[in-house]
Amino acid sequence: MRATKTLNKPGRYFLIFIGSLACILFLSCNPKTVSETSMAFQYDKEFKINKTMLKDKIMGGWAGQTIGCTYGGPTEFSYQGTMIQDYIPIEWNDSMMEITFKESPGLYDDIYMDLTFVEVFEKEGLDAPASSHAKAFANAGYKLWHANQAARYNILHGIEPPATGYWENNPHADDIDFQIEADFAGLMNPGMVNSSSEVCNKIGHIMNYGDGWYGGVYVAAMYSLAFVTNDINAIVSEALKTIPEESEFYQCIHDVISWHQQFPEDWKRTWFEIQKKWSSDIGCPDGVFNAFDIDAKINAAYIVIGLLYGNGDFGKTIDISTRCGQDSDCNPASSGGILGVVLGYNKIPYFWKKGLHKVEDIDFKYTNISLNDVYEMSYRHALEMIKRNGGRVEGENITIAPDKPIAVRYERSFKGHYPVKVIDLGWGGKYLETGKDPEYNFTFKGKGFILKGVAEKLETGLANKDLIVNIFIDNELYEQVKLPTAFRTRRHEITWKYNLPDHNHKVRISWKNPVEGYRIRMDQVIVYGPEPD
């Protein structure tokens, strides 16, 4: 036996104390970056899972998303720029999902939007082109808002993806839309984050660009990683490697991770830090100059707050994501779905699953697909994607070849633009009506504008029509557009233009087909100037 030199107990304790103090000082001065976060798995090693467990995790993702959406639904956008205080109760019982499915099925736009794309893959195969997804999405019977509606209008009027989501064609490009719809991409790519990003590239650009697209890429990557590790910190941090570091989306989520390290027991402190730094929306016409914030990055931050501070507790996770406010049904839907994959369906606590069995055979509105249906569809799609990406399916045993995350390309919406003024057109707005002046003019100084408004019927019994307007900028025809009075096919804003020379401009709106019983309402003009230094 080799002789060794030993210290007495006081000496050993002193060295332990000095070593611990050094570690504490090092960590306090050097908080972990995303690239330094320890992982619970290695990318160069195959991951083994059996079919039962894979399906259980897929079911957990869809179930968790449904539960989170239901839980947060009653508070959706009721708390804008403020959190939901602890003393405010949020109800949960075994009838809530059944009641919501039957009485408020539109709440589940998070899910039936996903199902549009899942169904296209089911019918046309996993190589279905973006055009097939765009066509299905644009012609679906459900109502849409923000980036989704702007993209629908673009598709129905001859614009093809990815131009449909590009910010100059879509003022809502940075909104949350694809972020709430990207769950399916991660669920069909277990452990394969780059394959998930490829799916997101195809579909996410139908409705978003830049930070709005990154929201979907990031959420899908977290779903994908949730299959191969139960380390929430690793999921959040490694998924962020799919996002370019120079993007504001990356910087926002990186800040959340850093603040969690600084304030590990105080999610509200992190929430306040997010509000101070990241709550200024410059893109969405409904969020600029308002407390309303549907920007992807800040709502993604609320997802991450729920995941990090929830510490693997399902109820705590969705409750925190809900109490962060703003889109308080979509955010817990995402955090609940991601944690649902980590836990698996069978380990989601019964308290949160109670009542789920009552709705699993009910088709989501606007679809012929139920939860039980999509459990099977996603499972089949995942098996095929595993085989396509270097994995193996051998009897009951599955081998996954995990991807090391690679950042997608850098994109930025609204580059060089900053909101500088809102021109309020008066109480109730301005109108183009029959029997009155069919034109309206306004002037502004800047490099871009958005004219908010809508075509509308004066009586509900009238048929829907397309009202046609000519838009002139500086006395030159800029565009002739159709403004449908039908809500499902409406243009989200009347007109907009970016990248103008930064000087005085005159805009004229001329109604070409005035019809009795209809009118065009104009609400506000948002003016953009150069981006501040």
Q: Note the pLDDT tens digit of each residue in 322-340.
A: 999 999 999 999 999 999 9
> Per the structure block, which two tokens stand in for 64?
């968790």
* Residue whose C-alpha is closest to residue 467's, from 411, 529, 522: 522
Phi then psi dihedrals of residue 185, to 5 deg? -65, -40
Distance CA 341, CA 359 (A): 20
Q: Residue 149 and residue 488: Cα distance in Å, rounded?
A: 8
Q: Which amino acid, one-letter code, is at 127?
A: D
What per-residue confidence (pLDDT) applies to 365? 94
Please report, rounded to a whole number, the percentage of residues in the chain having pLDDT higher than 70: 92
Residue of 154, 155, 168 lying closest to 413 (CA atoms): 168
Composition of the chain by helix, strand, coil, percent to 5: 45, 15, 40
Return d(Cα 183, Cα 223) in angstroms, integer.
7
How big is the CA angle at 157 (ends 151 and 158), to the nearest 5 degrees? Answer: 95
What is the Cα–Cα distance from 139 to 137, expressed in whole angstroms? 6
- Two tokens, residue 452: 């908010």
Is the pLDDT confidence value at 3 over 80?
Answer: no
Structure-token match 């408020």, residue found: 104
Which pLDDT score is estimated for 426? Answer: 85
Q: What is the pLDDT of residues 130-173, one digit of tens each?
A: 999 999 999 999 999 999 999 999 999 999 999 999 999 999 99
What is the mean pLDDT of the segment spanning 250-268? 98
CA distances from 490 to 4, 174, 454, 466, 482 (A): 82, 20, 8, 9, 9
Range scoring the smallest mean pLDDT among 7-11, 50-54, 442-446 = 7-11
Tell me: pLDDT of 410 over 70. yes
| pLDDT tens digits along 470-488 | 999 999 999 999 999 999 9
- Specify the range with the lowest mean pLDDT, choosing from 13-17, 132-136, 231-235: 13-17
Fold of 47-400: ADP-ribosylglycohydrolase fold (1.10.4080)
DSSP state of 165: T
Tell me how far apart the alpha carbons of residues 129 and 118 are, in angstroms, rounded to a whole number. 13
**Domain layout of the chain by residue ranges:** 47-400, 417-530
Looking at residue 436, its pLDDT comes to 86
State the average pLDDT for the chain: 92
How far apart, in whole angstroms, are the C-alpha atoms of residue 377 and residue 113? Answer: 15
Tell me how far CA of residue 95 lies from CA of 72, 99, 101, 359, in angstroms: 15, 6, 10, 10
Model confidence band, residue 21 (pLDDT cutoffs 50, 70, 90) = very low
* DSSP state letter for 36: G
pLDDT band for position 258 (50/70/90)? Answer: very high
Query: What amino acid occupies position 528?
Result: Y
Give the mean pLDDT of 495-500.
Answer: 98
Residue with tokens 């009347």: 494
Instruction: Check whether 26 has a pLDDT greater than 80.
Output: no
33-41 average pLDDT score: 41
pLDDT for res 40: 53
Planar angle of CA 381, 383, 384, nearest 5 degrees: 65
- The residues, ordered by sequence, that sit 6+ positions from 51 with a Cβ below 8 Å of its Cβ are 393, 396, 397, 398
Task: Please give the Cα distance from 215 to 161 (Å, whole number).
Answer: 18
pLDDT top residue among 243 and 40: 243
Q: Is-cis flag, bond preceding 162, omega within 30?
A: yes
Question: Please, is 308 exposed, middle or buried when counting C-beta atoms within 10 Å of its C-beta (0-12, 13-18, 19+)?
Answer: buried
Residue 100 has pLDDT above 70, yes or no: yes
Q: Could you report the per-residue pLDDT of 168-218, keeping only the tens digit for each? A: 999 999 999 999 999 999 999 999 999 999 999 999 999 999 999 999 999
Across residues 230-250, what is the average pLDDT?
A: 97
Q: Report the percentage of the chain scoring pLDDT > 90.
A: 89
Q: Counting every residue, how long is the chain?
A: 533
pLDDT digits (tens, 9 = 90+) for 270-293: 999 999 999 999 999 999 999 999
CATH topology assigned to domain 417-530: Jelly Rolls (2.60.120)
Q: What pLDDT score was predicted for residue 1?
A: 33
pLDDT at 44: 77
**pLDDT of 87 above 70:** yes
3-class secondary structure, 119: helix
pLDDT surpassing 80 at residue 381:
yes
